[in-house]
């Protein structure tokens, strides 16, 4: 199972708001396969050496550099930490504290030193569903399957998960007895199936608590509709795998789920493009970085789409949003697109981190505005 801890919105806002002259952001690729994790540990050591060079060039106090290095070295040496990983790791460090997030996405490796954290790659994990769960639900079996981008699908062990509808209702068969002394036939069967579905939902809550990955249901009627009516997980996908999951392997269920994940992301991108095109002529959409920066500073951006990979170095005035572009990244500046994204988040807007080819006109960003600026 992938061990992920995608930041909550309050955590993300705290990261965006954090300011320290020695703020270091690390991103590196990891793996849930513990026997292959050593490469990631070594790579973090290399990135720390690069961070030390950047910190020293910026004139950072040696005690602050030493504190950051000690925290990273302690993390590198933590065997338990490295035995529970996902596909990428984000690490945010100041001399006072460190925070880590294990992410399902495959992110590019780099380190950045500035007076604020570089959160743009982190947004990819919150924008694109590459990691999901499939609930294979049938009257006589129930399984939770974990689906990842490039690893084999696996069944997840779930405590207190009923083995079948009959097991949930302590009966030999939901087709052979009534649900009560008064209700018989198909109506009684639906009551028993609904009780089964509620128990499944309750068993999944500890596994899915705090997560945001899509849960895709694979079930036939009437269980498909019944489970949908009792589900409490907020990220149950509207589109379902419309086949009986009986005797389907985890790989087969994952193959059926991945096109749904692609369509979920595709629908989000298409909806953005449609709204962007509608509002552009009215002056309520822009792909100009300087204009987007002013709008974000004024709280005027409703939705922002950004290129996950590109870094545009510079600074943005705190009050006016005026942009000063720089030729190269240094510890004295930061990625202005990431800073715009942070200001959008703090003003209650939405941010989508995508690949460049998914942006209108292949721009660095695209903003849909609440009002013209």
Q: Where in the chain is the domain with CATH 3.30.960?
A: 9-118
Whole-model pTM: value is 0.76
C-alpha separations of 291 from 120, 275, 296, 305, 357 in Å: 19, 18, 9, 14, 21
Q: For the beta carbon of residue 149, count every other beta carbon within 10 angstroms.
A: 15
| 281: pLDDT strictly greater than 50 | yes
For the stretch 219-278, pLDDT in tens is 999 999 999 999 999 999 999 998 889 989 999 999 999 999 999 989 999 999 999 999
Residue whose C-alpha is closest to residue 123's, from 285, 345, 283, 314:
345
For the stretch 168-180, pLDDT in tens is 998 887 775 444 4
What tokens appear for 54 in the block?
């950047």
- Distance (Å, whole) CA 93 – CA 70: 11
Question: Which H helix or E strand runs over 270?
Answer: helix 250-280
- Distance (Å, whole) CA 324 – CA 338: 14
Q: What is the mean pLDDT of residues 140-163?
A: 90
Q: How far apart are the first and last CA of the chain?
A: 47
Residue 180 phi/psi, 5° resolution? Answer: -155, 180
Q: State the pLDDT at residue 176.
A: 57
Q: Which CATH number fits domain 132-263: 3.30.1360, 3.30.420, 1.10.287, 3.40.1000?
A: 3.30.420
Is the bond preceding residue 65 a cis peptide, omega within 30 degrees? Answer: no
Q: State the pLDDT at residue 185.
A: 58
| One-character DSSP codes across 2-19 | ----PPPHHHHHHHHH--
For the stretch 179-218, pLDDT in tens is 445 555 567 788 999 999 999 999 999 999 988 889 999 9
Tell which wins on pLDDT, 247 or 134: 134
Q: Where in the chain is the domain with CATH 3.30.1330.30?
A: 281-369
Residue whose C-alpha is closest to residue 86's, from 40, 31, 36:
31
Q: Considering the domain 281-369 in this protein, what is its CATH number?
A: 3.30.1330.30
Region of residue 210 (left: phi > 0; alpha: psi -120 to 50; beta: else):
left
Angle between helices 336-346 and 120-127 (to 10 degrees): 60
For the stretch 55-107, pLDDT in tens is 999 999 999 999 999 999 999 999 999 999 999 999 999 999 999 999 988 88
- Distance (Å, whole) CA 12 – CA 349: 13
Q: Where in the chain is the domain with CATH 3.30.420?
A: 132-263
Residue whose C-alpha is closest to residue 344's, from 294, 278, 308, 283:
294
> Quick check: helix, strand or coil at residue 206?
helix
C-alpha separations of 254 from 85, 124, 145, 257, 319 in Å: 21, 21, 8, 5, 48
Q: Considering the domain 9-118 in this protein, what is its CATH number?
A: 3.30.960
CB 218 within 8 A of CB 254: no
């Amino acid at each position: 199972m992938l061990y992920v801890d995608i930041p909550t919105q309050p955590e993300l806002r705290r990261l965006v708001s954090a300011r320290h002259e020695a703020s270091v952001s690390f991103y590196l690729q990891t793996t849930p396969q513990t026997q292959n994790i050593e490469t990631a540990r070594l790579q973090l050591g290399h990135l720390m050496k690069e961070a030390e060079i950047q910190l020293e060039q910026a004139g950072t106090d040696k005690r602050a550099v030493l504190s950051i290095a000690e925290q990273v070295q302690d993390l590198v040496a933590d065997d338990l930490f490295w035995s529970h990983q996902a596909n990428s790791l984000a690490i945010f460090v100041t001399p006072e504290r460190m925070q880590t997030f294990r992410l399902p996405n495959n992110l590019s490796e780099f380190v950045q030193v500035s007076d604020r954290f570089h959160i743009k790659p982190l947004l990819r994990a919150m924008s694109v569903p590459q990691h999901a769960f499939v609930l294979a639900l049938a009257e006589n079996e129930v399984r939770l399957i974990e689906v990842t981008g490039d690893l084999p699908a696996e069944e997840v062990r779930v405590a207190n998960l009923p083995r079948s509808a009959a097991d949930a209702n302590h009966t030999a068969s939901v087709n052979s007895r009534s649900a009560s002394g008064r209700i018989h036939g198909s109506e009684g069967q639906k009551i028993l199936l609904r009780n089964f579905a509620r128990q499944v939902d309750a068993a999944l809550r500890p596994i899915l608590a705090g997560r945001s990955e899509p849960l895709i249901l694979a079930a036939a009627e009437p269980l498909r509709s019944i489970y949908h009516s009792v589900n409490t997980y907020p990220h149950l996908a509207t589109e379902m795998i419309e086949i009986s999951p009986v005797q389907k392997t985890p790989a087969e269920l994952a193959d059926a789920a991945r096109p749904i994940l692609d369509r979920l992301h595709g629908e989000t991108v298409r909806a953005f493009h449609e709204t962007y095109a509608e509002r552009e002529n009215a002056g309520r959409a822009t792909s100009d970085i300087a204009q987007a920066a002013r709008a974000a500073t004024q709280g005027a951006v409703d939705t922002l789409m950004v290129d996950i990979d590109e870094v545009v170095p510079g600074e943005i005035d705190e009050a006016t949003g005026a942009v000063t572009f720089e030729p190269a990244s240094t510890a004295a500046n930061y990625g202005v697109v990431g800073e715009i994204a942070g200001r959008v988040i703090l003003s209650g807007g939405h941010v989508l981190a995508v690949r460049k080819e998914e942006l209108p006109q292949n721009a660095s960003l695209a903003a849909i505005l609440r009002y013209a600026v």
